[in-house]
Structure 1
Amino acid sequence: MRESMYSALFGAMSNELRLDTISNNLANVNTTGFKKEAYAFQDTFQRFAHDYLTDDRTSVRGKEIWPRAYVMARPRLSGQYSDQSQGSLQETGNALDVGLVGSGYFKVRTPDGDLMTRNGSFQLSADGRLITEQGYEVLGDGGTAIELPRDNRVEIDANGRITADGVLLSQLDLVDVSDPKELEKAGKNMLRIKKDSNATEIPTEGLSVQQGYLEKSNVEIVSEMVNMMEAQRAFEINQKLMTATDTMESLVINKVGTVS
């Protein structure tokens, strides 16, 4: 098979992945605290045995004994990660809505263990526990559930301390990660550190808690739409290249060697 077919195939597969990623980002443009997926591609080179021939002594031979090396580039996904850049804050006026400014995450207890999130849209359960939209407990005071009175005025300061009518009740568990690129999505807008990663949870530094605000998604619609159109065009070009290669191969098979 012609190398052009392989190159076009890998190019189409790469752009298909780009389209899937961009589509997911756009679908979550209104999801509170959502972090867009970022990706990077690199060329992977295929080398032949004669590419590593380094003997250039003219006394040994007067001319090259091997054809010149041809290195073929084939694109591959080199990395995919969640872009943890700050999203803009939207004022809601709800005392249980909490936005984060800076690097850090809320700790939440789920059936799959303790996870992290930037979604600060909280509410009270029937028994007075602070929970997420999915019903998961928001953690405070080093890993315990936060219980709040229903009729008192609740205030949350910039450090995450929670008071009701001036009485300190709890403090939000806020953590950061030593390498944010080692985070992976666990579903329902939750994050966790990848398995076998060297990244660890660390104390936050410079993180500010804003009561009555929610952090919006960090997806930029215009740039994502431009990226989508670019990926679509690139995918179409690779499709045409595969079609053209197939046509040429068919002509070679059917015409070469035919006795007229």
Structure 2
Amino acid sequence: MRDSTQSAIFGALSNELRMSSIANNLANVNTSAFKKDKLAFHDTFVRFAHDYLVDEKTYIRGEKLFPEGHIMAKARLSAQQIDLSQGSMERTGNQLDFALSGKGFFSIQGDGEMLYTRAGNFVTDSDGMLRTVDGNPVMVDGGPLIIPQGGRVQADGSGNILINGEPAGAFDLVDFPDPTQLERVGSNNYRGIDGAAGVPPEEAEVAQGFLEKSNVEVVTEMVSMIETQRAFTMYTKMIQTDQELDNKLITQVGRPTV
């Protein structure tokens, strides 16, 4: 296989993954507190065997034993990261809607594990338990919060909760200074990788009656989509061109002359 063909294949596959990421971002543009994914690229250097023999034995022979090494740089996907930048705030007036300004997450109880989210569009079930729209209990002082029917809920900027004027605890807020410690679970929840635990946030402020909007910018994502589509088309044309050259080499150049 030609080296150019191999590079084009990897380029096309990389742009296919990038297109999937962009499509997922656009699909969640109206999801509360959704955080978009970012893809990073880096150069991968392909080395020949003689590139590793750098110790020239000048005391044995005057001429170099091996020719100069040639290193080719090829762009590859290196990481897919979550962009945790702040989304804009939208006023709803609902007493069970909460938005976080600054860094931090609400703690919620997942299926046998602790999860984290920034989506504060909470609801109550038939028993009055505060839950996410996915049905996960919201953690308040290490446990679920029960709100009596018709109860009036108030929360201050630190996350302290009052129900009918009586203290009911505080949201379990955590922060992950290193975003690489988080992985996405579903569309809007996260978990700590390898049991990584969060720390108390330093800058988080709770706003009641507000929701954080998605940080996806439609125009930016559409431009990236057009750019990705054009790059993918370019790589497929490179593969087709290499195939045509190989066919000519096989059918014409290798043909014996009479």
Shorter chain as normaliser: what TM range?
A: over 0.9
2:52 aligns to what?
A: 52
2:31 aligns to what?
A: 31
Cα distance between partner residues in 2 of 1:228 and 1:11: 15
Cα distance between partner residues in 1 of 2:60 and 2:116: 67
Matched, 1:232 2:217: no
User: Which amino acid in structure 2 is aligned with residue 244 of structure 1?
Assistant: T
CA shift, 1:177, in A, is 1.4
TM-score normalised per structure 2: 0.93
Q: How does 1:173-188 map to 2 (within 5 A)?
A: 173-188=172-187
Cα distance between partner residues in 1 of 2:182 and 2:21: 16
CA shift, 1:40, in A, is 0.4
Decide whether aligned partners of structure 1 residues 211 and 52 sit closer, same or farther in structure 2, where only a CA change above 3 A counts.
same
The sequence identity of aligned pairs, in percent, is 45
Cα distance between partner residues in 1 of 2:67 and 2:245: 25
Is contact 1:10-1:74 (8 Å) kept? Answer: no
| Residue among 235, 246, 255 paired with 1:249 | 246
Cα deviation code 1:56-76 (max 9, x no counterpart): 8498245x5645433222322
**Number of equivalences:** 256
TM-score normalised per structure 1: 0.92
Q: Secondary structure at the match of 1:137?
A: coil
RMSD: 1.8
Cα distance between partner residues in 2 of 1:152 and 1:247: 73
Cα distance between partner residues in 2 of 1:72 and 1:108: 48
Comparing both structures, which one devotes a greater share of its residues to strand? Answer: 1
Decide whether aligned partners of structure 1 residues 61 and 99 sit closer, same or farther in structure 2, where only a CA change above 3 A counts.
same
2:155 aligns to what?
A: 156
Is contact 2:88-2:212 (8 Å) kept? Answer: yes
Q: How does 1:182-221 map to 2 (within 5 A)?
A: 182-195=181-194, 199-221=196-218
CA shift, 1:180, in A, is 1.9
User: Which amino acid in structure 2 is aligned with residue 21 of structure 1?
Assistant: S
Q: Secondary structure at the match of 1:18?
A: helix
Is contact 2:28-2:214 (8 Å) kept? Answer: yes
CA shift, 1:195, in A, is 2.3
User: Which amino acid in structure 1 is aligned with residue 49 of structure 2?
Assistant: A
1:81 aligns to what?
A: 81
Which consecutive unaligned segments of at least 5 residues does structure 1 have?
none
Cα deviation code 1:20-46 (max 9, x no counterpart): 111111110100011101110111111
Decide whether aligned partners of structure 1 residues 190 and 226 sit closer, same or farther in structure 2, where only a CA change above 3 A counts.
same
CA shift, 1:103, in A, is 0.6
Cα distance between partner residues in 2 of 1:219 and 1:182: 22
Is contact 2:34-2:187 (8 Å) kept? Answer: no
Which consecutive unaligned segments of at least 5 residues does structure 2 have?
none
Cα distance between partner residues in 2 of 1:193 and 1:39: 20
